[in-house]
Structure 1
Amino acid sequence: MEEETQPPKFAFPVDSEHKATEFRIFSVAAPHMRAFHLSWISFLACFVSSFAAPPLLPIIRDNLNLTSTDIGNAGIASVSGAVFARVAMGSACDMFGPRLASASLILLTAPAVFFTSIVSSPTSFLLVRFFTGFSLATFVSTQFWMSSMFSAPVVGSANGFSGGWGNLGGGATQLIMPLVFALIRDVGAVKFTAWRIAFFIPALFQILSAFAVLIFGQDMPDGNFYGLKKSGEKAKDKFSWVFYYGITNYRGWILALTYGYCFGVELTIDNIIAEYFYDRFNLKLHTAGLIAASFGLANLFSRPAGGYISDAMARRFGMRGRLWALWVVQMIGGVLCVLLGRVSSLSSSIVVMVAFSLFVQAACGLTFGVVPFVSRRSLGVVSGMTGGGGNVGAVITQLIFFRGSRYSKETGITLMGVMIICCTLPLCFIYFPQWGGMFCGPSTKTHATEEEYYMSEWKSNEKEKGFHLPSLKFAENSVSERGRKEDSVDKASPAHV
């Protein structure tokens, strides 16, 4: 085998694609674990920037004379910008690699964070939140990067931890921004100046993270996209075909819908929860921020737990286990969201919110335990579609339930829970011929193998040139998605290449 003729070049055991087959969270070994830490830190920086405004809204709205409609529109703007940015980011990752795509977007959106300090009207406030929100598309590069570095048995955990720890920014900013604001005010600045100066902190953090990705990151286990294409080790794929095979795979669309009502709901809560507790229970700004922070900070372990559960279920039940775990966890999250809008006391609201955060964030991790297997050739496009679906869900939810005064926030939260339940049902329709779906086992046809599924994305002339070889290796390494069932031996495994 190839690995026997080459000296060891990685700190971890790897598969035939040189993806790590182990995930050691406290390691910083290059390139696998270094990519992990760079990805979640840079994504966290973008999350901090994108949601730096909500914890200071009671101050900002007084300074800019914002109405509830203005605040709702700005919240929608903050997540709508990333809808198309995430789809574009997926394509950029497929063509240029996650390192360059991620760092470029972070640097392009950093000026919007700086400009927040000089906004003077509701319109300018909306615009800076809109352009800052583009940075949330770095989530796609984060998941693409992890799927490029880690093998099938641990990819759910890698995606869960990187996405979850990045999402910590939504909770961390609820603590950081009120603290920074208070420190600047205590130094001597008036409050309407202090909140403006505070935005320099997330902007600087964002810029530093981008340079770290550029300097220390690596796209793939064997090198960067540019070098691999130049040396001929990676085929120069056609964007049109990459895009086509991504958007024509119905599984990606279903995952985009369901992700809209786990991650989309998380984004919505990040925008409204501090103001909700501040207004409904007459709390101090700092207290409301602490409570709101607990929702986002649950990502420290909730989303990673989702990724881990996905991998654990796959080891026993294969892809069907991943799908069932996602369906059950997201359904429970929907029920808890309905309950959150119905409880009326402060203590019960906090308890239900924490429980809700655990399930809705775990569902996010479970979703990206499935995404890497939808397509090998169009991984970035499918990741972008799914990630963009999260932002679409947030936009629609905020537009319907949290814009203006049509619904009270508690009623909006309840109705949002109903939407979660309804939009989780389509997961039942995801079916992989080689692995099955929630209610049906794998196809009995002899050609329903991993090799057949992933080779269908390549044309005969492309196969003649060897462009399909990475997909063939991926098919071999995805055999683990059959689970421990005896019928896995009935199908011939793809030949090692």
Structure 2
Amino acid sequence: MESTIKFSIAVDSDHRATEFRPFSISSPHMRAFHLAWLSLFSCFFSTFAIPPLLPIIREDLHLSPSDVGTAGIAAFAGSIISRLAMGPACDLFGPRLASATLSLVTAPILLSAAFISSPLSFILLRFFVGFSLANFVANQFWMSSMFSGCTVGLANGVAAGWANVGSGLTQLLMPIIFSILNTNFNFTQSASWRLAFVVPAVFQATMALLVLAYGQDLPDGKYKKFKKEEKDSFGLFLNGITNYRGWVLGLTYGFCFGVELTMDNIIAEYFYDRFGVNMETAGVIAASFGFANWVSRPTGGVVSDELGRRFGMKGRLWGLWVVQTVAGLLCLWLGRVNSLWGSIVVMCGFSFFVQAASGLTFGVVPFVSKRSMGVISGMTGSGGTVGAVVTQLLLFSGDTKFSTQTGISLMGVMMIVSTLSLTTIYFRDGGGMFCGSSDYDYQPLP
């Protein structure tokens, strides 16, 4: 790297930013930030464009509750596979190329909604569209490549948090787009919901092209240029997959972000069915759950960095445990509230804490392994979608004996229990929850 390179933002010896300016587009750090979160935003918008229209889709395609549940599981199952692959892809090719390629491949799949006519084709649609959520791994890898340890928690939290708002905005906008096509342009209901998916598909493809045109993998240039040393892909994968910390973080992430994904999948239908609100109102309520990401996940990143500065890795781990445990308690409570407004209030509190826990998780991830950062990010990210599959399959598949509200409460219990695994994490330099130095200057493991 050339030491004479000048940046418009303070950087460390590796040229990674030591400050975070979210309202700047200075190249390359903040430009990468904005491209990363907007690209992932478009993927969340696409993936969760389907649930708010389920009341119409299930009637048009004659879907049973079991079909709807299976489709929800399929969406997350597709994401598991793609997230596991995205980690090594980022390590080998860089986040820019990996992210844009996946978006360009999956955007046309959403357009195929115009041709589906059976429960099986609907399930397959959700499975393949779910692949796009693997861009989350590229998002977090990119931020960890651009921002130094003192601010990476904040950068990761804001990039993912703002992107996750896409899952809320789509809950609000897709019913409106459907209504405009159906009412103003006189399309049939069947044609309207199919045509509505053109909007998220075009948005996703556009963002992918912008990432390719204007993105930069590293502070000093493209990934290929500055990673000329030949990497052993199997060695990278093995180094990451054998690090138990990645497995623990994958488990806990499965019951914060995984629970968030499940709620994105069921929340509009839950309020529609349980409290008798119309589709538009259910969409607004569900949107508020996703909109909380605008501040909640970034707050988790800020808290992680601040606790890291004060107490080292011990602070980051304790912060994650406390926040995720509170989220679990609120989730348990949400399933036991019987009034509409009471449910909305508890849901808002729950959404803040569960999303903040996701931000706190990725305040820890960059310190697990510098060499296999992509693999660890992929393992953790995949854990999120595995958690979503598990909760969807066990509690909301349409074939379970549990009511939806009971399933929500049981999800809270699962969150509380899984988070106890954080007590097993120990870093050679940073310690763990019950031991370790308060010195912030610990480094990622090799």
Instruction: Name the TM-score, length of structure 2 as normaliser.
Output: 0.97
In 2, the alpha carbon distance for the partners of 1:413 and 1:316 equals: 35
Judge conservation of contact 2:162–2:294 (CA < 8 Å) in 1: yes
1:40-87 CA-to-partner distances (Å, cap 9, x unmatched) read: 000010001101110000000000000000000001111110102101
Matched, 1:437 2:432: yes
Q: Report the Cα offset of residue 227 of structure 1.
A: 2.1
Q: Report the Cα offset of residue 228 of structure 1.
A: 2.1
Q: Report the Cα offset of residue 7 of structure 1.
A: 3.5
**Pick from 422, 425, 432: which aligns with 1:427?**
422
In 2, the alpha carbon distance for the partners of 1:87 and 1:213 equals: 21
In 2, the alpha carbon distance for the partners of 1:364 and 1:214 equals: 28
Letter in 1 for 2:215: G
In 2, the alpha carbon distance for the partners of 1:441 and 1:146 equals: 27
Letter in 2 for 1:427: L
State the partner residue of 1:282.
Answer: 276
Judge conservation of contact 1:72–1:403 (CA < 8 Å) in 2: yes
Matched residue SS, 1:227: helix
State the partner residue of 1:176.
Answer: 173
State the partner residue of 2:100.
Answer: 103
State the partner residue of 2:217.
Answer: 219
State the partner residue of 1:254.
Answer: 248
Matched, 1:205 2:203: yes
1:262-312 CA-to-partner distances (Å, cap 9, x unmatched) read: 000000000000000000000011001000100001000000100011011
Matched, 1:67 2:101: no
Judge conservation of contact 1:432–1:442 (CA < 8 Å) in 2: no
State the partner residue of 1:409.
Answer: 404
In 2, the alpha carbon distance for the partners of 1:254 and 1:271 equals: 25
In 2, the alpha carbon distance for the partners of 1:185 and 1:312 equals: 50
Instruction: Map 1:41-440; keep pairs closer than 5 Å.
Output: 41-186=38-183, 187-229=185-227, 234-405=228-399, 406-440=401-435
In 2, the alpha carbon distance for the partners of 1:122 and 1:254 equals: 36
Judge conservation of contact 1:433–1:442 (CA < 8 Å) in 2: no
1:168-223 CA-to-partner distances (Å, cap 9, x unmatched) read: 11101001100110111122111111111000000000100000000000000011
In 2, the alpha carbon distance for the partners of 1:192 and 1:182 equals: 12
1:97-146 CA-to-partner distances (Å, cap 9, x unmatched) read: 00000000001111210001211000000001100000000000000000
Judge conservation of contact 2:311–2:437 (CA < 8 Å) in 1: no
Judge conservation of contact 2:250–2:382 (CA < 8 Å) in 1: yes
In 1, the alpha carbon distance for the partners of 2:177 and 2:360 equals: 34
In 1, the alpha carbon distance for the partners of 2:102 and 2:26 equals: 26
Which ranges in structure 2 are unaligned for 5 or more consecutive residues? none
Range that drifts further, 202-211 or 401-410: 401-410
In 2, the alpha carbon distance for the partners of 1:275 and 1:300 equals: 23
In 2, the alpha carbon distance for the partners of 1:209 and 1:236 equals: 30
Letter in 1 for 2:279: L
Judge conservation of contact 2:312–2:437 (CA < 8 Å) in 1: no
In 2, the alpha carbon distance for the partners of 1:353 and 1:450 equals: 37
In 2, the alpha carbon distance for the partners of 1:86 and 1:190 equals: 37
In 1, the alpha carbon distance for the partners of 2:14 and 2:436 equals: 28
1:387-444 CA-to-partner distances (Å, cap 9, x unmatched) read: 000000000100000011421100100101100001100001111121111012259x
Matched residue SS, 1:18: coil
Which ranges in structure 1 are unaligned for 5 or more consecutive residues? 444-448, 458-497
Judge conservation of contact 1:43–1:138 (CA < 8 Å) in 2: yes
List, as ranges, runs of 4+ consecutive aligned residues in structure 1 with deviation greater than 6 Å.
Answer: none
In 2, the alpha carbon distance for the partners of 1:84 and 1:61 equals: 26
In 2, the alpha carbon distance for the partners of 1:200 and 1:109 equals: 13
Letter in 2 for 1:248: T
Question: Which has the higher Rg, Structure 1 or Structure 2?
Answer: 1
Letter in 1 for 2:64: T
In 2, the alpha carbon distance for the partners of 1:450 and 1:368 equals: 16
Q: Report the Cα offset of residue 236 of structure 1.
A: 1.9
Judge conservation of contact 2:293–2:355 (CA < 8 Å) in 1: yes
